[in-house]
Amino acid sequence: MTGTDVQQETRRDQPRRVSFTLGFGAKLLFLAVVNGFAVFGLPRMIEEKAWLFAVFTVVATLAIDWIYLSSKGSTLPLKYLIPGTILLLVFQVWPVLNTAYIAFTNLGTGNILTFDQALDQILEGSTFPTDDDPRLDARPLGILEDEEITEIALYLVDEEGMQFLGTVDGLEEVTDEDLVVEEDRVVAVGDYVVLGLAQVSPIQEEFTALEIPAGDNRLIKLTRGVSGASLVSPSLDYDSDTGTLTDVTTGIVYEQVEGTFTAPTGETITPGWRAVIGFDNFTKVFTNENIRGPFLRVFIWTFVFAIGSVFLTFVVGLGLAITLNQPDMKGQRFYRSLMVIPYALPSFLSALIWAGLLNQEFGVINEFLNLDVPWLRDQWWAKGSTLLVNTWLGFPYMFLISTGALQAIPDNLKEAASIDGATSRQSFRLVTLPLLLVSLAPLLIASFAFNFNNFNTIFLLTGGGPPIQGAQTPAGHTDILISYTYRLAFESGRGADFGLAAGIGILIFMIVATISAISFKRTAVFEELNQ
């Protein structure tokens, strides 16, 4: 073994020293922030029983720690992939999966809570005092250990002067011997001491929720702050074995039906709870007349709007591109710059400006032309105005891509067509347009998919209106499926219906995906022409 080998072997045996550099410090700071967020968020996730998020947080945090602290060269690619992968799962995959899940549930107004939360609210709301229920004077009690209140109770005195100690275990009659009295005031009852206002305030909710069993399915609850209580009788009784609620006064039995307690007559008890209802959200779109009618009108207009927008923007954009593609045109760059202005401005700002311009009473267009056209109030004018504004917003994009595609077509092909006797119109139809479509067809398909879900223009210009008269769901004449879905979820007059909105969202995805797949397959014809 040579001297060099001995030195190398000695270096391997020595512990590796870690030099503290700026990059190493930034790494530690990054890991500290990640672990801090995990430690801060885990208790809340466990408290809310969000087990999936809790497990994901633990696994993701441990994976990040291992990858960034490892010195193995094989983990180097993971250091670049893991942040993007985690963000992809959190902000893309999870929302999609959660939306798909919601589409099979009844989530919406009246069905937001879990079953346990809904049952607690129902039973609490059904427990109230009647005129025949006696009232009692009450004082809050508590057991103090090191200035901490460990148990709470109530000192109760009925109308006949009988005294009781009320706890979660029930009522216990007390005598004067069990009381500690100072200056004619009761200060303690057995091991419990009377609490002052300052001691009660932090735990007011615990006293409000305190229920003291009093026999015969009756309870004692505070009804006048912490100074008065009443003997209350629940009107509903829950049977955990059968999962039913029974009205103790009428005998009606309410069974669990799709997230609500429902009587045989169809009467329901609110609130309901989140429950899986299968394909009901999808079938009601086609079977419920109140939804089917507006949905079909919105569905048809969505296709008209998307196809019309693509056609008009493409025709205008291509026409301007051909016009401004003449090499000997003066001011060509200036004119091209003007064409891009609508595209350079934020689309939401342009839509709001157009909404003001088209206002029937105060809009500049009506005032300047001395007209009284209901641009946004009449269904047909509103549809035409929507297509007009969307053409204004979209033609610069078509102008740009058409200009690039035109300049990519070799001039010798046009010259060959001219030599063969083709007119300029024939040359465009038989040579230029097929070659353009080879490049632009995928972009036209993408434009169709974009306009199929063009929420901004519809929402900011017309808000989906004018409304469809007689529709039982919030649907307007210019609503497209995505805006109709939004209004179902957040603006429905009968309450938000997130399950139905998610179901329609899934249908939108399937429609767009199917049309896009068919369209991309059809574009292969243009590619064959180019070979």
Q: What is the pLDDT of residue 18?
A: 47
At which residue do the structure tokens 């649907």 appear?
Answer: 475
- Classify residue 468 by its DSSP letter: P
**How would you write the pLDDT of the chain (531 residues) with one tens digit per residue?**
555 554 555 455 554 454 567 778 888 888 999 999 999 999 999 888 888 899 999 999 999 999 888 888 788 888 888 888 998 998 889 999 999 999 999 998 888 898 988 998 888 778 766 666 678 888 899 988 877 888 899 998 888 888 888 888 888 888 888 888 888 888 898 889 989 888 888 888 888 888 888 877 778 888 777 888 888 877 888 888 899 999 887 889 999 998 999 999 989 998 999 999 999 999 888 888 878 888 889 999 999 999 999 999 999 999 999 888 887 788 888 888 888 888 888 888 899 999 999 998 888 999 988 888 999 999 999 999 999 999 999 999 999 998 888 888 887 877 787 777 777 778 777 788 888 888 888 888 889 989 998 999 999 999 888 988 777 778 889 999 999 888 888 876 567 888 988 998 898 889 888 888 887 777 665 555 455
Taking the whole predicted model, whether its pTM rises above 0.85 is answered as: no
Q: What is the pLDDT of residue 9?
A: 52
458 in Cβ contact with 348 (< 8 Å): no
Q: What is the pLDDT of residue 380?
A: 94
Bridge partners (DSSP) of residue 153 are: 141
Q: Which domains does the chain have, with CATH numbers?
A: 23-102 (1.20.58), 109-126+244-277 (no CATH), 127-234 (2.40.430), 285-530 (1.10.3720.10)
Beta-sheet strand order (sheet of 236-239): 236-239, 244-247, 253-257, 260-262, 268-269
352 in Cβ contact with 460 (< 8 Å): yes
Task: Tell which residue, 273, 292, 261, has the closest CA to residue 109.
Answer: 273
Q: What is the pLDDT of residue 376?
A: 92
Residues 109 and 98: their CA atoms lie apart, in Å, by 18
295 in Cβ contact with 507 (< 8 Å): no
